[in-house]
Amino acid sequence: MTSPLYTDLRKRPRSAGRDRESALRQAPWNGTLGLSISGVRLDIHGLPLPLERTLIKRFHLFISPTLAGAEADLSIRVRPAVVKGYLDYDKKQSTTYRLETRTSGERLHVWSYAFAGWFEIDGKEGEVSLCDSDIEPPERSIENFLRVAFAWKASNRGGFLFHAAGLVRHGKAYLFFGPSGSGKTTVTRLSANDLLLNDDCIHVTRRGSDFRANGVPFKGRDECGAENAGEFPIAGLFRLVQSRRVCFEPLSAAAAVSEIVASIPFMSERKEGLERNLSVAEALVRSVPVGRLQFRLAPDFWNTIEETLRG
């Protein structure tokens, strides 16, 4: 399965590669990191200390102390891999990041070029092995493993990880979604005066019929991404379509559910994941406006959105 979440896999300079190799080989691997992402707690143990420092900086908005006795949603052990790599990297397909998943009993196995791991879907244990690799830096490997694990833990709590860009205006979140290339990052670039929640994924949480958009530490590109850890009520969901004109077309509930579920990554591996997604997506579309937004390379789509929501 090819992941919809792209990451940069440029050939790294030799010196950077050698620095990372030596960092990964430094012993001991006893660094610890705790993350709290809108109430979902992920603890990571066994990090090489330089990687721990890198991740603390990368995830700084979401760091939470690992408390003895406090139960995490998932506790992940990191180990050095005994192999040099997992998935083969095809330079011809270098713009598409490959991430594979497979269920085995109650575990979901996840692997890519430079890491392989598993976590218990309903349990609290997980493990990931990191390689020395020139293809993917270890902080990216950890982040991509955490995306998948977080998607399931968020679902266990009734929400979902949504492949969307989130912008906050006047205290409300506007979520822009669609397949890769539909314009999510473009929309964020056209909205420089608005608060960027994330350019790639949003944690949608639910309390009854109240849905909120939350920031997550996962990035679409290294220069964008996790700008905010806050929680905001959702003003609307906008399926992006690049066009010469600007207009908003509401979607039927069934069409909206279909579009939303198609943008919930990593959950289609098991039937129960799809069932949860269909259920929560239906509740969401009954609660907030969802439609197709045709837009062009200009920020005037905001006028259309505001007129639509006012009406």
Partner 1 sequence: MVETSAVPTRNPASSSRTIDGQAVIAVSDMAQIHILNDVGTRVWNLIDGTRTVAQITDLVRAQLTEEGYEGVSSGVAADVESFFEALAAKGMVNLGETSN
d(CA 196, CA 4): 21
- Cβ proximity to partner 1, 31 vs 178, nearer residue: 178
Distance in Å, CB of 1 to partner 1, minimum? 7
Using rule CB under 8 A, residue 273 touches partner 1 = yes
Q: Answer yes or no whether residue 275 interacts with partner 1 by CB under 8 A.
A: yes
Report the C-alpha gap between 146 and 33 in whole angstroms. Answer: 12
Query: Could you tell me the smallest distance in angstroms from the CB atom of residue 122 to partner 1?
Result: 17
110 interacts with partner 1 by CB under 8 A: no
The tokens for 119 are 């976590």
Q: At its nearest, how many Å lie between partner 1 and the CB of residue 92?
A: 22
111-114, long-range: CB within 8 Å, 24+ apart, which pairs? Answer: 111/86, 111/87, 112/86, 112/87, 112/136, 112/141, 112/144, 113/9, 113/85, 113/86, 113/87, 113/88, 113/89, 114/85, 114/86, 114/138, 114/141
Among 35-43, 61-69, 197-205, 262-270, the segment contacting partner 1 (CB under 8 A): 262-270
Structure tokens, 217: 């530490």
Does residue number 255 form part of the binding site for partner 1 (CB under 8 A)? yes
261 contributes a contact to partner 1 by CB under 8 A:
yes
Question: Contact between 30 and partner 1 (CB under 8 A)?
Answer: no
Question: Which residue from 36, 228, 268, 287 is in contact with partner 1, where contact means CB under 8 A?
Answer: 268
Q: What are phi and psi of 49, to 5 degrees?
A: -60, -40
The stretch near partner 1 (CB under 8 A) out of 144-152, 196-204, 212-220, 277-285 is 277-285
Q: Which residue has the tokens 């066009």?
A: 243
Q: Which of 262, 256, 263 is nearest to 291 (CA)?
A: 256
Shortest Å distance, C-beta 118 to partner 1: 17
Q: 116, 257, 290, 293: which one contacts partner 1 (CB under 8 A)?
A: 257
Instruction: Say whether the peptide bond before residue 28 is cis (omega within 30 degrees of 0).
Output: yes
Q: Is residue 220 a contact residue for partner 1 (CB under 8 A)?
A: no
Site string for partner 1, 138-177 (x = CB under 8 A): ----------------------------------------
Q: Applying CB under 8 A, does 97 fall inside the site for partner 1?
A: no
Q: Does 262 bind partner 1 (CB under 8 A)?
A: yes
Task: Rule CB under 8 A: choose which of 30, 94, 279, 303 binds partner 1.
Answer: 279
Q: How far is the CB of 152 from partner 1 (least distance, A)?
A: 14
d(CA 62, CA 228): 9
Q: How far is CA 40 from CA 54, 151, 154, 251, 278, in A?
A: 21, 10, 7, 31, 21
SS3 277: helix
Task: Pick the binder of partner 1 from 87, 195, 278, 309 (CB under 8 A).
Answer: 278
- DSSP for 26-76 reads PSP--EEEEEEETTEEEEEEEE-HHHHHHHHHHTGGGB-PPPTTPPPSEEE
254 lines the binding site for partner 1 (CB under 8 A): yes
203 three-class SS: strand
Give the residues lining the site for partner 1 (CB under 8 A).
1, 252-255, 257-258, 261-262, 268-271, 273-275, 277-279, 282
